[in-house]
Each structure stands twice: as C-alpha cells, then as structure tokens.
A = this chain, B = another copy of it.
Amino acid sequence: MSEQGITVKKSENFSEWYSQVLIKAGLVDLRYNVQGFIVHRPWLMRIIRAIYRMFEEELEKTGHEPVLFPLVIPEENFEKEKEHVEGFRAEVFWITEVGDGSEKLDRKLALRPTSETAFYYMYSYWIQSWRDLPLKLYQSVSVYRYEKNTRPLMRGREFLWIEAHDAFATHEEALQQIREDMENSRKVIWEKLGIPFLFLRRPPWDKFGGAEDTYAADTIMPDGRVLQISSTHDLGQRFAKPFNVTFLDKDGQRKYVWQTCYGPGVWRIAAALISIHGDDKGLVLPVEVAPVQVVIIPIYYKDADKEKVLGKCRRLEELLKGAGYRVQVDAREEYTPGYKFNEWELKGVPIRLEVGVKEVETNTVTVFRRDLLRKEKVSDEKLLEYIKYLEGAILEELKNRAKNFFESRIVNATSRQEVEEALRSGKIVKMPFCGREECANDLKEATDGGKIRGTEIDFKEGDYGKCAWCGAPARQIVYVAKAY
C-alpha cells in the first residue's frame, strides 16, 4: 500500500506531499531528459483542458477572440521595449541553428517568454481607426523561460498559460479591463475551482517589465507561501510607442492606443487546485474539472454474482452518461475493490458508486463522497437527482474549506515583532506600510524572504499610522508574504 498511497501528511510536509501526489496520481512524469521540461500525463491534461475551457469561455463572453501567434520572436522585436527586454532577456531560449548546424540563422529567434512583442508588431497593421477598437485577442499556449529553479506546475521552462492582449482608445477603458480581468479570474478560479485569492496591485519595484502597473491574483498554498496565479498589466502606451500602434480617433487625431495584457496561469492554477483541495489520501477534484466524475466499482466475491452486479453497473453508467456525466466502470478483475477505492481516491474522483449484491437486491447504490470520505445509501430512482445535488454540494464544501484556510492564514500586524512571528509561522501579514522600496528590501532580508505583495485594487493612499516595519508614516495597507 505504501507504494500506491501518499506516505506523508499534507500539513506536515507539503513539499513531499505535493511531489508524491503529482507522481502517484499519474499527473506528470519528471523523468524526461531535459531539465525543467515535464511530461503531462492524461489525468493532468484533462484537468488542464477543463481549466482552459473555463477561461476561454469567460474570455469569449467578454469579447475576446482566439488567435495563434508564432512561437518564435525575432530578436529585433523582442528588444523594442527597454524594460521589457531587461525583465526577460536572461531567461530567453534562442534558436540559432538549423539542420546539421552548418547553416546559422541570419538572426536569432527567441522562443516566446511572453508575446507582447509578437502581438504588438501585428497590432500596428490591424489597428487603423477607432472602429478597430477595442481589440481583444487571446491565445492558449506554452511559454518558455530559462528558470534556474523549477518546480512542476509552479515554475517551469515550459509553462502553460493563456495570454490576452487588449488595446483601447482610452486609458479609462484599459483600467476598466483590469477589473474585467479580475472578474474573469473570480468566476473561474474562485467560483468554479474554489480557489480563493487576493487581487493586489504590486508595488512599483515588482511589476512586469514594460508595465505601468501590475495587478495580480495571489493564492495561499498549504505551507503558507503565496503563489501568483494570474496577472494583468496596465501597459499604458509603453508598447504602443515603439511598435507604433496608433489609430485615427473620431476627432480626426492620430493617437497611440492604451494596452493591457492578462495572463491566467493555467499551470499554476492547476498546482493550486491540487494543493489546496487535496488531502492526505491524494487529489480531491471539483466535479466540473474531474476527468472522471463518477467511478462505479462492482463488488462480488462469487462468479455467480458477477453478471448481475456488472449488469447493474452498466445500467448506472448508461444512466449517468445519458445525463452528461463522465463515468467509468472499473471492472478490472486483477484488482480488489479496496485497491480500486484507494486508486480512485488518490486520483481525486469526486463521486464513487459501489455496487454489490446487496445493492442489486435492494435497488440501492452506495455513494461515496471523496471530499467528506463519507458513504450514503441512495435508492436507484433517486440516484441521478442525488448526483446532481452532490455536484454543487462538493464544490460548496471545497470552497468553504479553502476559504476558512485562506482567512485563517491572514493576520494583522502593527509591529516588527508581529510581522516576523507571523511570517515565521507561515502566515500572510496585512500591515501598514511606508511605501518605500528600501523598507521592503530590509523586511525581505530580515525575514528571509517576506515580500510586499501589494495593496488591494481599490485601495486609496492615506494616513494609516506607522509602518509596521520601520515606524515611518504609513501611506498604505499592504499584504506581506513569502512566495513561490
């Protein structure tokens, strides 16, 4: 059993728990022979696809359209915005050769680390007049960054995400887009996946290369460190100018566009989903995202019972498939029911039906909820209704648990001692802050990595007493955390 199941508690050793879940639940394989590049196995790919579909649906509802831009970006595009290239250059993979190596390319091609410099090159062709605005496009792709330290689904050299690139006639519309992006994140990450987050405006020294401002969603992982799972950048006109993206406005004036880009980190959202809802037995998945939503386990000990038990399993499978559920009957004969229970619990299947001779005779089904690890007897005719109910109930349960955990991890602090103590015990600190980068650097060093994550989006600067760290006049209330 130790080979099959998770051997550590999530609360005691999150890092080891996470590694074991990824491997044992069949999500990834890390043995591919290029560092930082992982193999996504079917169970993970189906979860990731479900997350992609959720975002794509929300993005399209709010007027975004899908595109696909080239993977490669020529060096000259990449270098057009100074802060952008400074922020990314160290991490770029370059294609320099083709064929047997005797032929060098006439210029280096970057693998996209992010695609501003690919998109905006074309935006200068596509945007001519106010009629072409707003332009809201997105692509669902991988990006490539030569990260020194990699961790599966959190930081990788090949990283799956969505990038939406929007252009507007005015800065006001761009700022409104940041709120729309926050709302998109809320609808998918919180409403559908049950992952709570803070939506913060990053301090100026921590923004995206080439942005005026960066807003990001931070969730809290089980070990108390935060993970940025999406971000929106107010690019102002910083890319519009070097890429010459202009439009003829209604007033007859030629103007630069205002741009934003939004990046839901699909990979990291999967990491948060796994980590936040998972328990000591493995994954726990909300119904909507589960590759198999209902698994049906036949239980019989005599060959004479096989046919009637399996027959009922097949009938239930038909019933649930007919209602649109992803169902699987696990009729493998080489494994015991107990082995199968453990395997599907490890993989996080939200609902398990157990069908034995007794269930056949009494026209009932034993229904197991993965979230509560609890069984109920349900009559055959009530089953469909009950499954429908569970779909919502399981999500509610996961959301409640996640919210309670999330809120329990945020503490107020007004003194250096409180800040240090909270960060030491894996908490997120909410505190008055002077707003100075030097103070942030000092805090970070003294606390071995505590970072100012930013202010809430609607926050107004003001007089908030004294900075909890340095005692100078505080202008902001900020969140401070150690981060992935």
B108 touches A70 (CB 8 A): no
Is there a chain B Cβ closer than 8 Å to A462's Cβ? no
A161 shortest CB reach to chain B, Å:
13
B70 touches A34 (CB 8 A): yes
A107 shortest CB reach to chain B, Å:
9
Cα–Cα distance between A92 and B162 once the two chains are bound (Å):
27
A32, A48, A74, A100: residue with the most chain B Cβ atoms closer than 10 Å? A32
Cα–Cα distance between A97 and B46 once the two chains are bound (Å):
33
How many of these chains are in the complex? 2
B residues near A131, Cβ cutoff 8 Å: 334
A59 shortest CB reach to chain B, Å:
12
B residues near A16, Cβ cutoff 8 Å: none
Is there a chain B Cβ closer than 8 Å to A94's Cβ? yes
B33 touches A45 (CB 8 A): no
A99 touches B89 (CB 8 A): yes
A39 touches B142 (CB 8 A): no
Contact of A46 among B33, B66, B72 (CB under 8 A): B66
A39 touches B66 (CB 8 A): no
Is there a chain B Cβ closer than 8 Å to A118's Cβ? yes
B residues near A73, Cβ cutoff 8 Å: 34
A335 shortest CB reach to chain B, Å:
10
Contact of A122 among B39, B76, B122 (CB under 8 A): B39
Is there a chain B Cβ closer than 8 Å to A38's Cβ? yes
Q: How would you classify the secondary structure of chain A's contact residues: helix, strand, loop or mixed? A: mixed
A432 shortest CB reach to chain B, Å:
39
Contact of A91 among B46, B91, B99, B121 (CB under 8 A): B99
B42 touches A66 (CB 8 A): yes
Cα–Cα distance between A69 and B74 once the two chains are bound (Å):
25
B66 touches A45 (CB 8 A): yes
Contact of A93 among B49, B95, B334 (CB under 8 A): B95
Is there a chain B Cβ closer than 8 Å to A422's Cβ? no
A122 touches B67 (CB 8 A): no
Contact of A142 among B65, B67, B71, B100 (CB under 8 A): B71
Cα–Cα distance between A455 and B296 once the two chains are bound (Å):
47
Contact of A41 among B67, B70, B91, B160 (CB under 8 A): B67
From known contacts A32-B70, A37-B70, A70-B39, infer whether A92 and B98 are also in contact, taking CB-CB under 8 Å: yes
Cα–Cα distance between A470 and B204 once the two chains are bound (Å):
77
Is there a chain B Cβ closer than 8 Å to A68's Cβ? yes
Q: A39-B67, A40-B67, A91-B98 are in contact. List 4 more A-B contacts (CB 8 A).
A: A37-B70, A38-B70, A46-B66, A98-B146
Q: Which residues of A contact B (CB under 8 A)?
A: 29, 31-34, 37-42, 45-46, 48-49, 65-74, 76-77, 89-101, 108-109, 111, 118, 121-122, 125-126, 131, 137, 142, 144, 146, 158, 160, 334
